[in-house]
Structure 1
Amino acid sequence: MSRVATGSAAEQTALDFLLEQGLDLVARNFKCDVGEIDLIMRDDEGLIFVEVKYRSDDDFADVLEQIRPQQCQRIRRAAQFFLLQQQLDEATTAMRFDVIALVANRIRPQWLIDAF
């Protein structure tokens, strides 16, 4: 399976998992000039910007170590752009940044809430 196909399958698995947890999908693969967000979800409290990470083996170091500070910054800037596009005020919109980690031989994803 190609890297793109694997990434797409991982995002679908993460989406299915989050939907099972009661979240609603707002957008998928949101792209803008400053970055990309894999999934944008909503719960009763606000918006959730989700980064999906997939590894094919169990040698998955701490998930947060896999996300560089520059990547967090790009995701945050993309989230700001999304809010502007939706005419939402960043100061009054509840939001957080989560990570879903998937490992090929594990059944359940690891969900890091408010990861960065």
Structure 2
Amino acid sequence: MDNKPQAPHLQRGISTEQLACEHLQASGLHLLHQNYRLKMGEIDLIMRDGIIIVFVEVRYRKTARYGGALLSIDPRKQARIIRTAQHYLQYRAPNAQARFDVVAVEGDNQLNWIKNAFEAG
């Protein structure tokens, strides 16, 4: 068993994802998977909003300098999320509607939830 303490940036990432998950659940979404990982990429949260499967990228930045949390999700990162989501849908929910949301957290837990932040193309 590995009981080494986690690096502060990893601890912050976990607490930020938990904050985002709790916010989305309080808004009526239901958690399906957390940290869904494949070789091609990872999706922080997979949730259900009614009949829609929602793939959520959670980003934290201490400050808005250099564009902040939202702008840190570049086209390459979006493409990895989309490929991973397509795999998920193909094998777990082939007929489901989907959307891609972003929860951007900056500073002292200032949360911004952007629905339909990007599209699969």
Task: Give the TM-score normalised by the residue count of structure 2.
Answer: 0.84
Aligned twin of 2:85: 79
Q: One-letter code of the match for 1:6?
A: R
Greater relative contact order, per chain length (Cα 8 Å cut-off, separation 6+): 1
The answer on whether the counterparts of 2:104 and 2:113 sit within 8 Å (CA) in structure 1 is yes
1:13 matched to 2:16: no
Task: Give the superposition deviation at 1:111.
Answer: 0.5
Task: Give the superposition deviation at 1:85.
Answer: 2.8
Aligned twin of 1:25: 31
Between 57-66 and 5-14, report the one with greater CA deviation: 57-66
Give the number of aligned pairs: 112
1:97 matched to 2:103: no
- Cα gap change, 1:58/1:67 in structure 2, threshold over 3 Å: closer, same or farther? closer
Q: Aligned to 1:57, what secondary structure does the other structure show?
A: coil
Aligned twin of 1:46: 52
Aligned twin of 1:2: 8
Aligned twin of 1:69: 75
Q: One-letter code of the match for 1:99?
A: V
Q: Aligned to 1:114, what secondary structure does the other structure show?
A: strand
Q: Aligned to 1:105, what secondary structure does the other structure show?
A: coil
User: Percent identity at matched positions?
Assistant: 37
Q: One-letter code of the match for 1:15?
A: C
Question: How large is the RMSD of aligned CA atoms in angstroms?
Answer: 1.7
- Structure 1: state its 5+ residue gaps: none
- Greater strand content: 2
